């Protein structure tokens, strides 16, 4: 009888649907929330340490929902879905043009913008095809394709069963997520390059260029609530997704001054109700860089964190008044950071991820991953940092590895023999652990218990 029971248990597969979900159920706007701080932690201990390979540069933030990660490629427009448990490819498909947009997720569907940065003519950015794709999240099948005149490089957003997208043709579009049909549109009057819309309490916030204006749009009334003219800005306002602080401020960045010699990187806080400046701060001057010239901010625990590609520094500022609390020199960096458990993680174009104490600014550890980690920013899913690179890989690393890494070793690109041996042993152990899926442990425990009962009853029968 015991043999029959064991045979039955050993033959039962573990249903993937029964496995603990690693990520959130939905991802409805750029970097998950209005603070641009994409952290999901449900208390489950899930250690992931892997690399997902794709065929082209990754310049948008990978998105995780459930047990799957969704990745878009820059020039090729390839779209990938991988299973985080098995690390296997679920499916892949292709968009008609570049992907700089995240693959936002809701109701079993994915929504992604596509297009490029080249101008057809003044006032119309994006050549070849531009638009928004809707895909089935499980199969990767394209369900509809909403075409636009200008690029959709910013990430769309979902709010109250409507998909919203800002474009290179100076319009905001509202689209039915089921049919892909336009519900309404609004002419903004500015080109939006990479400033993904931030929707908060029914108001959509976005920056544009030609002219450099910032907009607050009331989605229910389908009209512009307020519009702020950034008359001194020369570049960047249309590239930066803004953040919301405490239902009080809208914070963004841009460049002022001489664009050829020493542009000045500025950060601004506007009153969320009126658009008037509450404070603005100079982060400093420096050499101009190609593309993504103004860093994207992130809010965490009453501070705004931002990296500057112009000054080559990371910053922590008081979100209420703009005072700089601390800063740290680094290489060119263009991606928004992420923060959790009192630690902020920045990435740069040298492939380095750095962990800092949010209050003191002390460097807690660094780890070199690879390629240019820009402008795709890192996310944290159950204590695992995930970031896309221009070397075509998505790196998934437990945050404990970053915090425990020696900055001197990582900066030099060298490791001591003892450290290398320890990591090799850890990798061997991890590989051995991965031979047994986490969901199967309960079955092995039952087997051990049954064997123990069998031995007990066998011994008792022999005595009697």
Predicted confidence at residue 445, as pLDDT, reads 56
Q: How many CB atoms lie within 10 A of CB 43?
A: 5
- Residue 321, burial from CB neighbour count under 10 angstroms (0-12, 13-18, 19+): exposed
Sequence-distant (6+) residues with CB within 8 A of 52 are 69, 71, 80, 82, 87, 393, 394, 396
Q: Which CATH architecture has domain 2-414?
A: 7 Propeller (2.130)
pLDDT of 108 reads 98
- Pairing state of beta strands 78-83 and 119-121? unpaired
Assign residue 197 a region: left if phi > 0, alpha if psi is -120 to 50, beta otherwise? Answer: beta
426: phi then psi, degrees, rounded to nearest 5: -65, -40
Nearest to 147 by CA among 102, 195, 115: 115
Predicted confidence (pLDDT) per residue in 339-352, tens digit:
999 999 999 999 99
The domain limits of the chain are 2-414, 428-464
Output the pLDDT for position 293.
80
- 50-53 and 393-398: which strand pairing? antiparallel
pLDDT tens figures, 172-226: 999 999 999 999 999 999 999 999 999 999 999 999 999 999 999 999 999 999 9
Q: What is the pTM of this model?
A: 0.85
Would you call 10 exposed, middle or buried from its count of C-beta atoms within 10 A (0-12, 13-18, 19+)?
A: exposed
**For residues 139 and 147, what is the distance between their CA atoms, to the nearest angstrom?**
22
Distance, in Å, from the CA atom of 186 to the CA atom of 165, rounded to the nearest integer, reads 11
Cα gap 376→393, rounded to integer Å: 11
**What does the pLDDT read at residue 140?**
98
Per-residue confidence (pLDDT) for residue 290, from 0 to 100? 84
For 107, the token pair is 């109701």
Phi-psi domain of 253 (left: phi exceeds 0; alpha: psi -120 through 50; beta: other): beta
What residues in the chain have per-residue pLDDT under 50? 1-17, 407-441, 443, 463-464
* Residues near 67 by beta carbon (within 8 Å), at least 6 away in sequence: 16, 19, 21, 22, 23, 83, 84, 85
């Amino acid at each position: 009888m015991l043999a029959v029971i064991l045979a039955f248990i050993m033959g039962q597969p573990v249903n993937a649907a029964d496995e603990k979900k690693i990520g959130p159920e939905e991802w409805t706007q750029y970097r998950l929330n209005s603070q641009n701080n994409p952290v999901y932690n449900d208390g489950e201990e899930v250690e992931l340490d892997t690399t997902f390979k794709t065929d082209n540069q990754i310049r948008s933030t990978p998105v995780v929902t459930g047990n799957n990660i969704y990745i878009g490629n820059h020039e090729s427009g390839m779209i990938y879905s991988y299973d985080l448990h098995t690390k296997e490819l679920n499916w892949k498909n292709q968009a008609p043009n570049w992907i700089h947009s995240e693959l936002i997720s809701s109701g079993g569907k994915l929504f992604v913008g596509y297009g490029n940065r080249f101008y057809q003519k003044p006032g119309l950015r994006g050549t070849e095809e531009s638009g928004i794709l809707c895909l089935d999240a499980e199969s990767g099948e394209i369900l509809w394709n909403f075409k636009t005149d200008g690029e959709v490089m910013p990430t769309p957003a979902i709010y109250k069963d409507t998909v919203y997208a800002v474009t290179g043709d100076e319009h905001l579009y509202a689209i039915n997520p089921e049919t892909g049909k336009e519900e309404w549109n609004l002419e903004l009057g500015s080109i939006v390059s990479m400033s993904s819309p931030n929707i908060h309490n029914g108001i959509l916030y976005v920056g544009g260029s030609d002219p450099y204006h910032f907009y607050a749009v009331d989605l229910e009334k389908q009209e512009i609530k307020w519009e702020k003219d950034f008359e001194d800005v020369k570049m960047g306002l249309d590239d930066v997704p803004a953040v919301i602080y405490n239902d009080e401020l809208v914070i963004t960045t841009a460049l002022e001054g001489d664009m050829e010699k020493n542009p000045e990187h500025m950060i601004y806080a506007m009153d969320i109700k009126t658009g008037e400046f509450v404070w603005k701060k100079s982060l400093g001057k420096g050499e101009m860089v190609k593309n993504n010239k103004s860093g994207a901010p992130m809010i965490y625990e009453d501070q705004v964190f931002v990296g500057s590609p112009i000054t080559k520094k990371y910053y922590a500022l008081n979100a209420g008044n703009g005072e700089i609390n601390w800063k740290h020199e680094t290489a060119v960096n263009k991606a928004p950071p992420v923060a959790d458990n009192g630690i902020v993680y920045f990435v740069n174009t040298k492939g380095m991820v750095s962990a800092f104490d949010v209050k003191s600014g002390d460097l807690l550890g660094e780890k070199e991953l690879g390629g240019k980690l820009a402008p795709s920013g890192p996310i944290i899913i159950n204590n695992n940092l995930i970031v896309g690179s221009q070397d075509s890989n998505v790196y998934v690393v437990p945050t404990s590895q970053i915090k425990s890494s020696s900055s001197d070793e990582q900066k030099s690109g060298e490791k001591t023999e003892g450290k290398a041996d320890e990591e090799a042993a850890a990798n061997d152990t991890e590989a051995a652990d991965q031979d047994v899926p986490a969901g199967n442990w309960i079955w092995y425990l039952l087997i051990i218990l049954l064997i123990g009962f069998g031995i007990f009853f066998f011994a008792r029968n022999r005595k009697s």
